[in-house]
């Protein structure tokens, strides 16, 4: 049997570590180590909601999992807003990450913020929160994420909590650590049809340093297609991108 893989799976806005429960169980049954941290102010940590929460807080949530669990050779995945978080984590944990996976996720550049480049829904809700002084903002229903079955939509809707405002206002600071990770994968949820994520997917397709995959599901890929996603995450630990052509 191959050595167990260390996975750190980061959720998106309004979600929590709970959304990876099915994927976590599948990977754990195969002998892998799986960590699904819930970011401060969300899910079972929603009682910690505060206007002091920013993007750095969420990055620290995940960095501390690496440090306290003494993790190395990690497959780090981020879903949706989690793309901001894992990009920041890579800046601090680059040498401990063997593979990075963006699951229908933001792929931000240095200096960008959710307020500037988020979805129309995100930008509008952030602007309204700033005007009213709100600490958090409510999310859309699972139906808008194109979650595929009624049962799954009820499950997601019953667990989503409000998203802290601060992380969407803070510009991210990047120096290129993400791009130096040898194995990089972008997974597009084909049924969700986000123009922003489609743009990222197309850019990664054109870059031989990335592996790209499209899944026939809505935005919450870990909810609707956990078995396939588990396989993709394991493959991400081993698959090498195409070599760069000689200059």
Residue 225 has pLDDT above 50, yes or no: yes
For 167, the enclosing helix (H) or strand (E) is helix 166-169
Residue 243 has pLDDT above 70, yes or no: no
User: What is the arithmetic mean of pLDDT over 161-180?
Assistant: 97
Residue 218 has pLDDT above 60, yes or no: yes
pLDDT (0 to 100) of residue 239: 76
User: What is the arithmetic mean of pLDDT over 10-25?
Assistant: 98
Which of the residues 50, 80, 99, 125 is marked catalytic?
A: 80
- How many angstroms separate the CA atoms of 214 and 216, rounded? 7
- How many angstroms separate the CA atoms of 139 and 57, rounded? 20
User: What is the arithmetic mean of pLDDT over 44-50?
Assistant: 97
Domain chopping of the chain, boundaries: 6-238
- CA 194 from centroid of its chain's CA atoms: 15
pLDDT tens track for 176-195: 999 999 999 999 999 998 99
* Mean pLDDT (the chain, rounded): 94
pLDDT (0 to 100) of residue 247: 38
Domain 6-238 has CATH 2.60.120.10: no
Residue 85 has pLDDT above 50, yes or no: yes
Spatial contact of 155 and 143, defined as CB atoms under 8 Å apart: no
Residue 245 pLDDT class (50, 70, 90 cuts): very low
Angle between helices 82-93 and 55-68 (to 10 degrees): 50
Residue 241 pLDDT class (50, 70, 90 cuts): low
pLDDT (0 to 100) of residue 77: 98
Residue 1 has pLDDT above 60, yes or no: no
- Cα separation of the two ends of the chain: 40
146: which DSSP letter?
A: T
Residue 244 pLDDT class (50, 70, 90 cuts): very low
**Residues in CB range of 98: below 8 A, 6 or more apart:** 73, 74, 75, 181, 182, 183, 237
pLDDT (0 to 100) of residue 3: 84
Closest CA to 114 of 144, 88, 91: 88
Active site residue 80: yes
């Amino acid at each position: 049997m191959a050595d167990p893989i260390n996975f750190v799976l980061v959720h998106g806005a309004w979600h929590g570590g709970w959304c990876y429960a099915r994927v976590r169980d599948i990977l754990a049954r195969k002998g892998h180590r799986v960590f699904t941290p819930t970011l401060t102010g969300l899910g079972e940590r929603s009682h910690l909601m505060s206007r002091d929460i920013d993007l750095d807080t969420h990055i620290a949530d995940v960095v501390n999992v690496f440090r306290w669990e003494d993790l190395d050779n990690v497959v780090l995945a981020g879903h949706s807003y989690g793309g901001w978080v894992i990009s920041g984590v890579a800046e601090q944990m680059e040498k401990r990450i063997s593979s990075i996976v963006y699951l229908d996720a933001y792929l931000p550049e240095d200096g960008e913020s959710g307020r500037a480049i988020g979805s129309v829904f995100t930008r509008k809700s952030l602007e309204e929160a700033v005007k009213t002084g709100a600490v958090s903002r409510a999310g859309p229903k699972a139906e808008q994420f194109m979650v595929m079955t009624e049962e799954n939509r009820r499950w997601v809707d019953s667990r989503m909590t409000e998203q802290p405002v601060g992380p969407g206002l803070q510009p991210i600071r990047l120096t290129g650590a993400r791009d130096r990770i040898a194995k990089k994968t972008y997974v597009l949820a084909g049924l969700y049809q986000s123009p922003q994520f489609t743009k990222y997917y197309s850019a990664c397709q054109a870059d031989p340093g990335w592996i790209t995959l499209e899944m026939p599901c809505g935005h919450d890929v870990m909810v609707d297609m956990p078995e396939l996603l588990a396989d993709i995450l394991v493959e991400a630990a081993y698959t090498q991108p195409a070599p760069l052509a000689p200059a």
